[in-house]
Amino acid sequence: MRRAKITIIGAGNVGATCAHWCAAAELGDIVLLDIPQAEDMPAGKALDLMQASPIMGYDSNLVGTTSYDDAKDSDVIVVTAGIPRKPGMSRDDLLGTNAKIITSVGEQIKATSPNAVVIVVSNPLDAMVQQMAKVTGFDKAKVIGQAGVLDTARYRAFLAMELGVSVEDISALLMGGHGDTMVPIPSCTSVGGIPVTQLIDTARLDEIVERTRKGGAEIVALLKTGSAYYAPAAACAQMVEAVVKDKKRVIPVAAYCDKEYGVGGFYVGVPVVMGSGGVEKIIELSLTDTETAAFKHSVDAVKELVETMDGLLSA
């Protein structure tokens, strides 16, 4: 049986760590790709990971490269390319530079891997995945943004820390844009089946939600010289697994919504069924009036971000 071919574009911390997670889980053979200016760096990281395989017991083959020829006919492509956030920067501050990078990357993907499922990680996420879909022209279901898995993981981690329980027993959902306008869905958040609202009062839950919204910025401030990469990379690996193993995972991702939730043709965070075809179904929930209003506010912020990006690219 042929192994899946997984290409990770961007061999920095997120990309290399994603390669690590994917290799350790034996999700497929992996190409770690970066720009020509990176010279031999991706090859060095791939070789290092190959040398770890006898110790950790995985058989994935890893190649580091600066040529898209090596990524030809990939089954799944994870895009981490772009400049990272620095202290004091918002995700939106990256907009103009990363939009140009995503445009270039998208053109290469279209030329070399026309059948791939593309998972975008670059920030600001919602605008970058919109641009990737536009440039590639791929089926919208096969271009997906990684945000909800990460945001929900942070939320679950903070809830577990608050309650002193296992993260495995916490089920949660966040929707909307990736960032300050993300929308918690308390009616879909439980601890061992117990509604979280029965365990944490509203004021404290709001504080945890706010910490989740600022989760990336908190790490940027602590690291001072970079941004989060372990959790974002793990979230990518979970999405890759859902595709290559056709897992039919019910997870929140940035998916293209048209009639769904009345979004009107933009990528926003919603719960989906994810399998070999990418987003195989968008799950539409009955939201409360408060949740609906918050979701609309978040979608409006995404639309504004995309309009700003389009203006920068056309200038």
Pairing of strands 76-79, 117-120: parallel
Q: Which of 20, 178, 213, 249 is catalytic?
A: 178
Three-state secondary structure along 13-57?
Answer: HHHHHHHHHHHHCCCCEEEEECCHHHCCHHHHHHHHHHHHHHHHC
- Give the helix, strand, coil percentages of the chain, each rounded to 5: 50, 20, 30
302 marked among binding-site residues:
no
11 marked among binding-site residues:
yes
Token look-up 């530079």 returns 97
264 marked among binding-site residues:
no
CA distances to 120, 187, 202, 270 from 273, in Å:
17, 19, 30, 10
314 marked among binding-site residues:
no
249 marked among binding-site residues:
no
243 marked among binding-site residues:
no
67 marked among binding-site residues:
no
Do 64 and 102 touch, CB atoms closer than 8 A? no
12 marked among binding-site residues:
yes
20 is catalytic: no
211 marked among binding-site residues:
no
Q: Assign residue 76 a region: left if phi > 0, alpha if psi is -120 to 50, beta otherwise? A: beta
61 marked among binding-site residues:
no
Do 58 and 23 touch, CB atoms closer than 8 A? yes
Active site residues: 178
Output the known binding site.
Answer: 10-15, 34, 85, 91, 98, 121-123, 154
Output the known binding site for NAD(+).
Answer: 10-15, 34, 98, 121-123
Output the known binding site for substrate.
Answer: 85, 91, 123, 154
